[in-house]
Amino acid sequence: MGKVKCECGHVNPHGTILCESCGRALTEEAQREKLHDMRYEGSARRSQTYNKTIIDKVWNFFSSVKVGIWLIVLTLIASSIGTIFPQKLFIPNNVSPETYYEDTYGVAGKIYYTLGFYDLYNSIWFIGLIAAIGVSLVICSLDRVIPLYRALKNQRVARHSSFMKKQRLFTSKEGTLQSGELDKVKEKLKSKRYHIREEEGSLLAEKGRFSRWGPYINHIGLIIFLIGAMLRSTEGMYTDAMLWIREGETLEIPGTQGEYYLKNEKFTIENYDEKKDPEVFKEALKRTGGVVKNYQTDAVLYRDENRDLPGAKPKLVKVKDAEIRVNEPLKFDKFALYQDSYSKDEMKAMEFALADKATQKEAGRVKIDLFNPKDTYDLGKGYKVEIIGYYPDYDGIGSDGEPKTKSPLPNNPAFLFKMISPEHPKGEISFTAIRQTLEPVGKTDYKMEFRGIETRNISALTVRKDLTLWILGLGGAIFMIGVIQGAYWNHRRLWIREINGEIYVAAHTNKNWHGLKREINSVIEGTSVPIPEDQQG
């Protein structure tokens, strides 16, 4: 493509508006401007130069800040719609979303559900919006950063008079620059940390140029963050599993490929206590009732040493003891175990007495492990109890006359017992459930009397491995560096030049003109150099 050669001799890339070197306007449009648009230093941007092929059009679309702003605003509006009613994630998990929204929120709820807003943040179009922001970030940054870099690097100290005249802060005055006066200005500029370059009667004082890279750096940070967020859906980068573990149990930790095991020694819930805890909490505790102080699983972490031997039994070696609390996960290897939830007082064992109905005499007791009941319990002296049916989650009698169980969990255990006694060596049949006894094959002399129950707590731990976290952290850190760089520093420039017996003074900043004016006034005041004036407004 044709390069543009400026009168000053500098060769500019095709599409350049203001000469990178001297600042002369190279296009007619720029020559007509009252004030130069200095946003990208009048450099040649691809998006402003080509618009022929499809690629050009796509490029131009995504490099437009207007489009970028629209994408941000659309994402913003979409996000807010998602908070009108709770997302699918937050509704009770025993109801179906299909009916929940309509039942709870009426017509509005039905519309919300039908339009898919109930799972908005996972919808294709929402993810598409975020992806479009990502694409836009990449393209708009590429479109600007290289030209801007060139322009700022190539700029000459002596700028053309037309360039200076079209700066927002500008003045000119007849006279010549006294070197003593100029030295005073330079001294002050230096004390304000300006870098000063001089050529033949021209001066350029500049500071904070690095702040111009702030937006590009923060956009890079955002892109890295988005890439990190995308990577979590790749195999192996991210594990999200739950481990429900009962007190006393030792289980393989899911997601660790059998390498690690965890034993739950004890799960505790502790409430604040008006008496024991600091007195200042008293009022609040009275007002709100019980407040939980701690959820804690005391656990032991084991590693299976035999993992690499196929077919061998696990050989568990203790790695460490741990107390897992909310906000204090157990970390090992690349995993973390979080205290997430719990279930209190799950039934573990039940105790019954075999008793003579008439005399109330106990022949003996059986304690049944609800997870692993035995077939026969021998009480001696001719007394025996056999379990011929076990229904851990009893749910009534089915149409076939058989008792039914809802699940294998002992939520509502029921038993079909055969009670053997010296009087009835063939046994009597009794069906015993909680608060209910049936005698399905005739009256019995003996019965199974409920004596007690043992319970234990279940702790629910989230198992998490997230290898993307460092990428997200890196992206976040780079973003912060970029925004701070762009927001807390400004790029300020002051040009002073003598042209044909006139002193030209011009100044530019990318933001905070008021601050620039104050600074320049304090630098120039009291010298023969004229103070530039605001030509805008």
Q: Which residues bind another protein (CB under 8 A)?
A: 39, 65-66, 68-69, 72-73, 75-76, 79-80, 82-83, 86-87, 89-90, 104-106, 121, 240, 272, 277-281, 283-285, 287-288, 291-295, 325-327, 329, 336, 338-340, 462, 464, 469, 472, 476, 479-480, 483-484, 487-488, 511-515, 537
Residue 115 binding target from another protein, ligand HEM, none, CB below 5 to 8 Å by type: none
Q: Report which residue type is found at 175.
A: G
Give the footprint of ligand HEM on residues 143-202 (CB under 6 A).
144
Query: Sheet containing 383-391: which strands, arranged edge to edge?
Result: 376-380, 383-391, 414-420, 428-433, 436-438
Instruction: Round the CA-based radius of gyration of the chain to a whole number and report it.
Output: 40
Nearest CA-CA partner of 144 in 222, 220, 51, 39: 39
Strand partners, 309: none
Residue 76 binding target from ligand HEM, another protein, none, CB below 5 to 8 Å by type: another protein
Residue 373 binding target from another protein, ligand HEM, none, CB below 5 to 8 Å by type: none
Q: Which residue is nearest to ligand HEM (CB)?
A: 68
Contact call for residue 223 and ligand HEM (CB under 6 A): no
Query: Shortest approach of ligand HEM to residue 69 CB, angstroms?
Result: 7
91-109: burial string, b at 16+ Cβ within 10 Å, e else = beeeeeeeebbbeebeeeb
Q: Which helix (H) or strand (E) holds 284?
A: helix 282-288
Residue 137 binding target from ligand HEM, another protein, none, CB below 5 to 8 Å by type: ligand HEM
Contact call for residue 72 and ligand HEM (CB under 6 A): yes
Q: Which of 11, 35, 65, 477 binds ligand HEM (CB under 6 A)?
A: 65
Query: Shortest approach of ligand HEM to residue 59 CB, angstroms?
Result: 12
DSSP count for the chain of H helices, then E strands: 12, 24
Q: Are 96 and 104 in contact (CB under 8 A)?
A: no
Which one of the spans 193-201, 211-219, 266-274, 276-284 is the region binding ligand HEM (CB under 6 A)? 211-219
Q: How many residues make contact with ligand HEM (CB under 6 A)?
A: 18
Contact call for residue 136 and ligand HEM (CB under 6 A): yes
Q: Report which residue type is found at 11.
A: V
Encoded tokens for 106: 């009426």
Contact call for residue 509 and ligand HEM (CB under 6 A): no
Rounded to the nearest angstrom, the gap between the alpha carbon of residue 313 and the centroid of all alpha carbons in its chain is 40
Q: Are 49 and 15 in contact (CB under 8 A)?
A: yes
Contact call for residue 218 and ligand HEM (CB under 6 A): yes
CA-to-CA distance for 188 and 529, rounded, in angstroms? Answer: 13
Query: Shortest approach of ligand HEM to residue 12 CB, angstroms?
Result: 19
